[in-house]
Amino acid sequence: MTMKCIYRLLAFAAFILLMLPIQAQRRNSLYNNYIKEYAPLAVEQMNKYRIPASITLAQGLLESGAGRSQLARKSNNHFGIKCHNTWRGRKVYHDDDAKGECFRAYRKVEESYEDHSKFLKNGPRYAFLFKLKITDYKGWARGLKKAGYATDPSYANRLITIIEDYELYKYDNKGMSRREARRWEKELKKKPWLANPHQIYTSNKLLYVVARTGDDFRLLGKEFDISWKKLVKYNDLHREYTLQAGDIIYLMEKNKKAQEPHRVYVVKDGDSMHSISQKFGIRLKNLYKMNRKDADEYVPEVGDRLRLR
């Protein structure tokens, strides 16, 4: 091998090494973990306050360093919201634009998400944002910068990059950006679900969709980039099951018990152990176990009282 060839190979190897961190950053595992944990909360806030879930998640990722910043870890503040004159809750002090600035502190992350929504909803300078479509994440990102949410001149572009790199727009109602819609129009023959994406809902801190006529596990798996076998497992079904319109299909593993305040359920006509497990987001085996029932023998009857937690 000539020296010239060796130099070319070394240059190519150096180029690949330089590119690897960039690609890794585009799909950072910390970001993926944060999205998995807090997407249900962002969707819940969107349904309550009409703030795009993609924007909430992107701001949470950016402001908290995917939950790793000191402010997030010690004070559960995921959005960098400062005290201001109206804040009457707990306070902590950190250096930011100035030294020793006052930031809001929360008992738990859910309070931070709720306060972030109220901060935007009740802030007069953000009022114009709520006239935008729920899917206009670019308008929201640029509007937040315009309204002065952050001093970083590239704040809007950074939010948009996070949303597009991690496809957070999927969490918005009918969440497809115009750019993505144009690009995906060419792929509709290969990917028919893109013409009418499922809306994502949240219940019991779990993400789910409602099956439509013609849906199957493979198509849903492709739409949400989840193994269809995992969808079968998450929903305590078998691979030969034919989805029916109206079926609740969870996009993540169900809980071991129901969320508060659901403690006991009285069986109604038409209920099955599976339908109850889907209704409350409980793994089917745990529902049987909590109630000391044999999965091969027990059939719920109207009036039976079943523990949910």
Write the CATH number for 37. 1.10.530.10
In tens, the pLDDT along 30-52 reads: 898 999 899 989 988 998 899 99
Distance between CA 242 and CA 96 in Å, rounded? 55
How high does pLDDT run on average in the chain?
Answer: 83
Predicted TM-score (pTM) of this structure = 0.57
Residue 95: its pLDDT value, please?
73
Q: What range defines the domain where residue 226 resides? A: 186-231+244-250
At residue 252's C-alpha, the angle toward residues 247 and 255, to 5°, is 90
Are 55 and 159 contained in the same domain? yes
Closest to 219 (Cα-Cα) out of 228, 229, 210, 207: 228
Q: Is residue 179 part of a domain?
A: no
Number of domains in the chain: 3
In tens, the pLDDT along 163-199 reads: 998 989 888 864 444 554 455 455 555 656 555 667 7
Are 59 and 141 contained in the same domain? yes
Distance between CA 188 and CA 175 in Å, rounded? 16
Are 74 and 167 contained in the same domain? yes
In tens, the pLDDT along 111-129 reads: 999 999 999 998 888 999 9
Are 45 and 133 contained in the same domain? yes
